[in-house]
Amino acid sequence: MEPQEQSVIARLIKRMDSSPGFAGLGATVQLISRLGDDADGGTREITAAILRDAALAAKLLRMSNSSHTTRGGRNVSTIDQALVILGLNTVKSVALSLTLLESLSHEPQSRQLHAEIVAAYFCGCLAAEITRLYAPRFSTQEAQVCGLMQNLGRMMATYYLYEDIERSHALQAERNLAEDEAVALTLGASYREIGAAIAKHWNLPDGLQNSLATDIGKAPPRSAANAQAWHQFCSAFCRRVTDTLFRLPVNRERVEIARDIEFFRGALHLRDDEVREAIDKFLLETDEILAEMSFPGNVEQSRNQLRKGSERVLDLLSSQDSLGKESKHTGGRPPIEIIQHVLRLIHDKYSFDRTLMCLPDTPSTLVAIAGVGRNAVQVSARFRCHGPKPDLFRAIMARNLDTFVADVRLPMYAKLIPDWYHEAVGARSVVMLPIAGEEKVLGMIYGDYSEPHASIPPGLAEGNMREWRDQLAQVLQTDARKLV
């Protein structure tokens, strides 16, 4: 490893070893991952382990008695019965997920980590199903554990090196980088490399270590000839699918998953329809399991949360537009770069689901020119306020009035919401912050939340937000031209 990579991994492992919160996590992973496939000895061992953890035992019994799993009014009262009802794979996966949850749930990064655990759980379930479908001769339990641990490096770095991860986010915004690029520049190591180093340090089973260390490369892998190769390729495939579902914009999901299936088709003998059916099945089942676990979040919330960390601000201006050209007023930088940078800072600060920059195209038209967040490409392309019928967005901008709408479906606002907005955007709570120059309103910051928020985000009229709005006003006042 390079010196910087050694340094960050050594620092991370030192912090992990000194933290009581992770004192038993490595041992727990070892225990659960080494349990045999449905053998009586393995069942007795995991039963004994569950009975040593009262909270886990209670959670599993509750799940076993839920309407989702029981049939005919059965009353499940023992762990042995729970293993029969839920299946050993589910029990092991839930046990690992709860162990992670208990170890990782600390502010300020708890929401991010909760979402990572949901993604990990889905990845593990998908890996087990892919193995069951296409390689039943290999261990589905080992596949599930390999899949479940795929984002181990990301979770540990987020927990222990949170300041460094925050610096990587700032770099991501400043340079408009992809998340992986920013992390590599900041830490000197990828999440995959960090996860592999942790697995080695914990002395986890060889198959699990290999699955975390695998770098598939650019050429499609050949057919998996043995169990080790299968679990490497299967977990890599499921990690890519999970990253697509949980980290990429929705509009890219179908194309990217098709590419992943094609890339691994020869190695895993995949069939498109079966894989997509498995993906849909386990997205739904993951949500059901999370509800039964009383987990602090669901699949959709987790996908939205993780997408925020992976997005780049999207420049929707044409290359001929003046905001995309270098300017003497902005130190030689194109104004759109400054707009992109400030949008990302605002988006992260207030945890919006979507943040847009809107400008007047004509005296009677308001359009979005750039955005970041959920479906930002599609939304920005369709965010066009025009025509004789009044709407909320042009009215707020014309009045130059900072506005928070807790729910756009309330009667006082509903009549001012354009029809296209419900179809293309569908947000419930909205923040609108006009950007004013010396003589006129130059544009508007738009931020939204998919679910209703009862109260206005704190700090919208002070501190950093005031500086960011002044910065945008300066850029727009000196460089904005009529959009193409």
Q: How confident is the model over 310-328, as pLDDT tens digits?
A: 765 544 443 335 555 555 5
Closest CA to 156 of 147, 148, 169, 165: 165
CATH number, domain containing residue 344: 3.30.450.40
Does one domain contain both 299 and 320? Answer: no
User: Torsion over CA of 321, 323, 326 and 332, rounded to 10 degrees?
Assistant: 180
If you compute the radius of gyration of the chain from its CA atoms, what whole number of angstroms results?
25
What number of helices (H) and strands (E) belong to the chain? 23, 7
Q: Domain containing 330: what range?
A: 313-479
Alpha helix positions (H), 331-375: 335-350
- Choose the final residue of a domain: 259, 274, 309: 309
In this predicted model, what pLDDT tens digit does every residue of 435-477 receive, in sequence order?
A: 988 778 899 999 999 999 999 998 887 778 989 999 999 888 8
By DSSP bridging, strand 441-449 and strand 429-436 are antiparallel
pLDDT at 156: 85
Domains: count for the chain: 2
Does one domain contain both 291 and 339? Answer: no
Which regions of the chain are under pLDDT 50?
Answer: 22-24, 37-40, 72, 314-320, 480-484
Closest CA to 460 of 442, 434, 438, 425: 434
pLDDT at 77: 66
Does one domain contain both 120 and 181? Answer: yes
State how far the Cα of 170 lies from the Cα of 27, in Å rounded to an integer.
35
- Choose the final residue of a domain: 283, 309, 335: 309
pLDDT at 112: 84
Say if pTM beats, i.e. exceeds, 0.85: no
* DSSP code of residue 221: P
pLDDT at 39: 47
